[in-house]
Amino acid sequence: MRNKLALVVTMTAPVAASLAAALLLSLVYPAAAKLSTEYYQKTCPNAEQIISEVVTNKQISNPTTAAGTLRLFFHDCFVGGCDASMLISSNAFNRAERDADDNVSLPGDAFDTIIRAKTALELQCPGVVSCADVLALATRDLVLMLGGPFYAVHLGRKDALGSSATTVPGNLPRPNMTIDELIDVFAKKQMTVQDLVALSGAHTVGFSHCSEFASRIFSYKGSGGHDPTMSAQYAEALQKACANYQKDPTIAAFNDVMTPGKFDNMYYQNVLRGLGLLASDSSLAADKRTRPLVERYAANQTAFFDDFTHAMEKLSIVGVKIGRKGEVRRRCDEFNNLST
């Protein structure tokens, strides 16, 4: 009952936010003004339905899909725009974005979800729906499935004609960046401090590998102990869980130790209580520009959902390509001119 209520509240507010986002952002990303929620109405009217079915089934059979896909979408958009360039596989001639050094373990389930949805679409409307749009819609559907807010996705993105690992460095945030560096990485994509804090709420789901936070829990800055801004109990539990991480690099911890699979505002409550997992999570509570937002979202989930929705609308149009700047790929992991 409570869940249902939350959904009703968040379905109305985003409409205003989405309009504002579309108007403002189209000044910075002019191609975004050409996107529309009706883009496939004539050419593939069931596109959203088809994607939603595939994605729902995948998430039910593999619950790690949603968080992985959300992260994949974020990385795709921040490296050269929301253009499915992150989906391209490397080959003998090209090392693609997804194999860049700081592209830490994007999970296979996320790629597989997009490929499955695309395959289903190709059966009904071949060559019509771009992989970039599939990824944007799949992400929206999966956030909703985890209990997060619904938002409209404007469509008509074209898929990138290139993807190179060399373009990745500097575009993605890292856990060991200072708050100034984090703000900067987001500002380069026209994302505000509010967007940074609201989007970081994505860490209310999914997990991180021990190597991403090991320097906080084992001999922090040579001290022999853990990062003192972390709860001692939490740090000790992580030390135990990660004791063997160098031998077994697949060991990971939930980003949100309290409600790991639920898209809610628990992340912010955690961060305020020393239960932030990554250094970048904790640093949001330590800076005077970001802390008020963390406090606001921790106290009010509706405020978080409103701002997350707004920020996802913005993220979804970063660097989008239209017309001849891109293509509609036949396969999401290959350019068309290589598969013929």
In whole angstroms, the minimum distance from the beta carbon of 328 to ligand HEM comes to: 25
Is 75 among the catalytic positions?
A: yes
Q: Are 150 and 12 in contact (CB under 8 A)?
A: no
In whole angstroms, the minimum distance from the beta carbon of 60 to ligand NAG comes to: 23
In this complex, which beta carbon is closest to ligand NAG, that of residue 6 or of residue 237? 6
What is the token pair recorded at 12? 């109305």
Among 147, 149, 156, 173, binds ligand HEM (CB under 6 A): 173
In this complex, which beta carbon is closest to ligand HEM, that of residue 121 or of residue 278? 278
What is the token pair recorded at 191? 């994302």
> Which of ligand HEM, ligand NAG, none binds 98 (CB below 5-8 Å, type-dependent)?
ligand NAG
Question: Taking CB under 6 A as the rule, does residue 227 contact ligand NAG?
Answer: no
Q: Which residues of 181-204 are buried (b: 16+ CB within 10 A; e: fewer)?
A: ebbebbeebbbebbbbbbbbbbbb
* Closest by Cα among 212, 150, 148 to 177: 212
Q: Which residue is nearest to ligand HEM (CB)?
A: 206
In this complex, which beta carbon is closest to ligand NAG, that of residue 158 or of residue 310? 310
Q: What share of the chain is helix, strand, coil (3-state, %, to 5)?
A: 55, 5, 40
Question: Taking CB under 6 A as the rule, does residue 264 contact ligand NAG?
Answer: no
Residue 80 Rama label (left phi>0; alpha psi -120 to 50; beta):
left
In whole angstroms, the minimum distance from the beta carbon of 165 to ligand NAG comes to: 8
Q: Are 72 and 83 in contact (CB under 8 A)?
A: no
In this complex, which beta carbon is closest to ligand HEM, that of residue 76 or of residue 133? 76
**Strand ranges (E), 84-227:** 207-209
Among 174, 262, 273, 325, binds ligand NAG (CB under 6 A): 174
In this complex, which beta carbon is closest to ligand HEM, that of residue 297 or of residue 335? 297
Span between the terminal Cα atoms of the chain, in Å = 52
Q: Is residue 81 annotated as involved in ligand binding? A: yes
Q: Which amino acid is at 215?
A: S
> Which of ligand HEM, ligand NAG, none binds 306 (CB below 5-8 Å, type-dependent)?
ligand NAG
Q: Which amino acid is at 298?
A: A
In whole angstroms, the minimum distance from the beta carbon of 95 to ligand NAG comes to: 9
Question: Taking CB under 6 A as the rule, does residue 99 contact ligand NAG?
Answer: yes
In whole angstroms, the minimum distance from the beta carbon of 278 to ligand HEM comes to: 6
User: Could you give the angle at which helices 131-145 and 65-78 cross, rounded to 10 degrees?
Assistant: 140
Among 14, 44, 71, 285, binds ligand HEM (CB under 6 A): 71
Q: Is residue 319 annotated as involved in ligand binding? A: no
What is 47-115 written as a DSSP string? HHHHHHHHHHHHHHH-TTHHHHHHHHHHHHHHTTSSSSGGGPPPBTTB--GGGSTT-----HHHHHHHH
Q: Is residue 65 annotated as involved in ligand binding? A: no
**How far is 136 from 79, CA to CA, in rounded Å?**
15
Q: Is residue 102 annotated as involved in ligand binding? A: no
* Closest by Cα among 196, 272, 284 to 234: 272
Beta partners for residue 132, in sequence order: none
Distance set, CA 207 to CA 22, 69, 203, 210 (Å):
31, 12, 8, 10
Among 44, 47, 67, 238, binds ligand HEM (CB under 6 A): 67
Binding mask 103-142 for ligand NAG (x = CB under 6 A): x-xx------------------------------------
Q: Which residues lie below 8 Å from residue 118, measured CB to CB, with a gap of 6+?
A: 129, 131, 134, 331, 332
In whole angstroms, the minimum distance from the beta carbon of 174 to ligand NAG comes to: 5
Question: Taking CB under 6 A as the rule, does residue 280 contact ligand HEM?
Answer: yes
| Numbered residues of the known binding site for heme b | 203
Q: Give me the active site residues, please.
A: 75
- Give contact residues for ligand HEM (rule: CB under 6 A): 67-68, 70-71, 74, 104-105, 107, 173-175, 182, 199-200, 202-203, 205-209, 212, 255, 278, 280
